[in-house]
Copies of this chain bind each other. A is one copy, B any other.
Amino acid sequence: MLPFQTLLQPDKQLKQHVYQQIAGRLINLIQEGILQPGSYLPGSRVMADLLQLHRKTVIAAYEELLSQDWIVAIPRKGMMVATNLPLMKPRSYQPAVSPYAQTPGFRFNTQIPSLPAQVAPTKTRLVVNDGAPDVRLAPLEEWIKACRSIIQSPQYPKRLTQGPTAGSENLRQETIRYLSHTRGLRLDLQNILITRGAQMAIYLAASLLVKKGDAVIVASPNYFYADQCFEQLGAQLLRVPADQDGIDTDAVEQLCRTRKIRCLYIISHHHHPTTVTLSAVRRMKLLQLIRTYQLAVIEDDYDYDYHYPTAPILPLASADHGGHVIYIGSMTKSLGLSIRIGYMIAPAAFIEAATALRRLMDLRGDNLSEEALALLLADGTIERHLKKSNKIYHERRDLLCRLLTAKLGDAVDFVPPNGGMALWLPFHRRHPLPVLATKAAAQGVAISDGAHYNYGGLSLNALRFGFASLNPKEITTVVNILAGILQT
């Protein structure tokens, strides 16, 4: 007889019933070939004695095995391990290591580039992020109230079970209305797909447009996760320099003239990472190129809602582009909630294809969140929040610019951004960012070491200084600490 008292070892501390533990372990022994087909288990009384358990527990375990066909009850002989199981070579009596600690023998795609890890925020006093909103300003209480009002409404079971993949109809309607007020876009329900933030919209648009080997134009430097989307799909990236007026449209034209371009990705407001805005002249030039070359354009306008000196220039999407601009935006950035909701705007046929693809990646969004956001758009909460936070972020930008000029002097060289949540801050070469970041971390301040922004083989010495999520006191502290480091 096998040493069942060693092999079975129930653990009474576990939540799982002891009889289930015994049954599970017996199945393992069968699977591992230790308990051979055709062999008999000890009678329940014997086994109960061996394991120091109540006989009923053993009987329950055996019944479990019977119901799963691992064993069969042979009259007057007892419980026999089923003989229709494939015979297996006995192996070690030791419990196997977790299969998930092993390296599988199959191949898989490990080519997706991973960016260097950001500094972990938990151990630090202050984090300078890439340009995130201030969660402390977010309308969280209003959010919870909206959620509660939805689940308490008599229609909630219908509304919550299974919404459309394209997103809650209420939210699509409210977003269309919002985009009409703020961007002058004229849209139907069939022109919009609600996504998980802007990132999913970029991935979907890229997946529909790009096949292996296709040429895609991006600005240099560019938002790294957009670059990676295109690369993951096998695109060849054509990097066109961007200056203070945005991407060089003459260079884009040159490329369009000489080869087949699959699409162009552009952030027309507050380009990531450099925060420049595409000038009016270049916008017109780009619209001309769109018409001439039937160019598909992915316009990522994640940051439109925050603009400080004046109203923002309208996006390319608002102009006459013949349906060639796939327009992408985000509510996540605006709200500062941890809820990720964005949208894609495009001609109906494109939205239809994007919706079908999104269904395969993620059947649908969270209806409760989508309905709650629709409520907050409808009752004006979002607009009030944007107005309030626009004013606050504007002040924080101004404060940061003043402090940087006063305290860091010629160690930095920056142009104030005309909107958004971050300032592009190039440091003089004599202050390498990896060194600066290490010293700042020692003083409790997490800043980027700049590696993210050098994606694609660049060697900039710059970072995005997210000012929106820091209050005036925090901004002052960070700049003082940086100034102290630079002086030593």
Query: What is the interface of chain A, defined by CB distance below 8 A to chain B?
Result: 14-16, 20-21, 23-24, 27-28, 30-32, 63-64, 67-70, 82, 84-86, 88, 96, 98-106, 108-110, 112-114, 121-122, 129, 132, 134-136, 140-141, 144, 147-148, 151, 156-158, 160-163, 180-182, 184-188, 191, 196-197, 199-200, 203, 207-209, 211, 225, 228-229, 232, 263, 279-281, 284-285, 287-288, 294-296, 309-311, 313-314, 317-325, 337-340, 345-350, 352-353, 356-357, 359-369, 469
Contacts and interface: CB of A to CB of B under 8 A. Distances in A.
B84 A281 contact: yes
B339 A296 contact: no
B99 A323 contact: yes
Contacts of A310: 63-64, 67-68
B361 A324 contact: no
A162 B288 CA distance: 39
A305 B158 CA distance: 24
Which among A27, A187, A211, A349 has the greatest number of chain B C-beta atoms within 10 A?
Answer: A27
Nearest to A113: B356
A225 B359 contact: yes
A209 B366 CA distance: 28
Contacts of A182: 16
A228 B309 contact: no
B324 A181 contact: no
Which among A161, A200, A314, A319 has the greatest number of chain B C-beta atoms within 10 A?
Answer: A161
Report copies per complex. 2
Contact of A287 (B31, B112, B340): B31
A469 B157 CA distance: 10
A186 B296 contact: no
A122 B185 contact: no
Contacts of A69: 279-281
A120 to B, nearest CB: 9
A200 B362 contact: yes
A284 B347 contact: no
B197 A99 contact: no
A365 B340 contact: yes
A296 B108 contact: yes
Contacts of A368: 337-339
Contacts of A318: 24, 28
Contacts of A67: 309-310
Contacts of A362: 196-197, 199-200, 203, 340, 361-362
B157 A208 contact: no
6 contacts: A15-B181, A82-B281, A106-B295, A108-B296, A112-B357, A199-B362
A296 B104 contact: yes
Contact of A228 (B103, B163, B360): B360
Contacts of A14: 180-181
A325 B114 contact: no
Contacts of A100: 185-188, 191, 323, 345-348
Contacts of A314: 24, 27
A360 B232 contact: yes
